[in-house]
Amino acid sequence: MKVIIIGCGRLGINIAREMDQRGSEVVVIDKDALTFENLGKSFHGTTIVGIGFDRDILTQAGINMADALVAVTSSDEANVVAARIAKFVFRVPKVVARVYDPRKAEIYKRLGIPTISPVAMAGERISEILSFSHLKTVLTIGSGEVLITEVEMTTAFEGKKMEQLEIPNVAHPISLTRNGKTMIATPNQQLEMGDVVHLAVVASMTDRVKEMLK
């Protein structure tokens, strides 16, 4: 997969190294060329000097072919602008922005931008989110046999119907959240990139659901 990382600070470096080791094509953007030295000689990716939300810079980085973008500069505003451009202009399937101010995180989430706290996640954990369909468990039912899970739709499911997320006796869609509004899931609902769907999933079958979501 191709990943663009905006910000070559400590977290950006950790993500870049982790994704590089996993065999991804990695492009790192930062306005300070000196920061790239911290990536180390073993880094096989590409570096670009520039502002991460500059569309010309993003085009140079190959955003049209990118599978994921993560913005982890020291500026909340710059991260969110870059993330919105990636998600809504270039339609990048997986986009994450780092925010320092937790009060802003909920606002950005309503705008359809997944956010991370600089202290809540390590680079390796973020790399997992970028690399795989992220099925987040939000509730367990009974003795843990059934899970209520949350998953954000990528471009792979855009235009498909909710019923295509149904696996008989394994997974059942419950609700759909779009642009901050939540509704009951119905079979004929058409999915859009950025939709958040809650699924009831048999706990022992989560790997099968993750495979479906790839």
pLDDT tens for residues 94-150? 888 888 887 777 777 777 777 777 655 556 566 666 655 567 888 888 778 899 999
Q: Is 9 helix (H, G, I), strand (E, B) or coil?
A: coil
Predicted pLDDT at 123 = 62
Amino acid letter for position 21: Q
pLDDT band at residue 15 using 50, 70 and 90 as cut-offs: very high
d(CA 8, CA 10): 7
Predicted pLDDT at 31 = 96
Asked if residues 185 and 211 have their Cβ atoms less than 8 Å apart, the reply is no
**How confident is the model over 33-41, as a mean pLDDT?**
96
d(CA 145, CA 123): 31
Q: How far is CA 2 from CA 24, 25, 135, 206, 213, in A?
A: 6, 5, 21, 26, 18
Q: How far is CA 99 from CA 71, 78, 118, 175, in A?
A: 9, 10, 7, 27
Chain-centre distance for alpha carbon 54 = 20
**Residue 14 in this model has a pLDDT that exceeds 80:** yes
* Residues above pLDDT 90, as percent of the chain: 56
**Residue 18 in this model has a pLDDT that exceeds 70:** yes
- The tokens describing 173, both together, are 């869609």
- The tokens describing 164, both together, are 């295509």
Predicted pLDDT at 129 = 62
DSSP state of 164: G
- The tokens describing 114, both together, are 């997944």
Name the residue with tokens 């119905």.
Answer: 186
**How confident is the model over 185-213, as a mean pLDDT?**
91
What the chain holds in terms of domains, given with CATH numbers, is 2-131 (3.40.50.720), 136-213 (3.30.70.1450)
Predicted pLDDT at 103 = 77
pLDDT band at residue 22 using 50, 70 and 90 as cut-offs: confident
Query: pLDDT digits over 56-80, tens only?
Result: 999 999 999 998 999 999 999 999 9
- The tokens describing 7, both together, are 């910000």
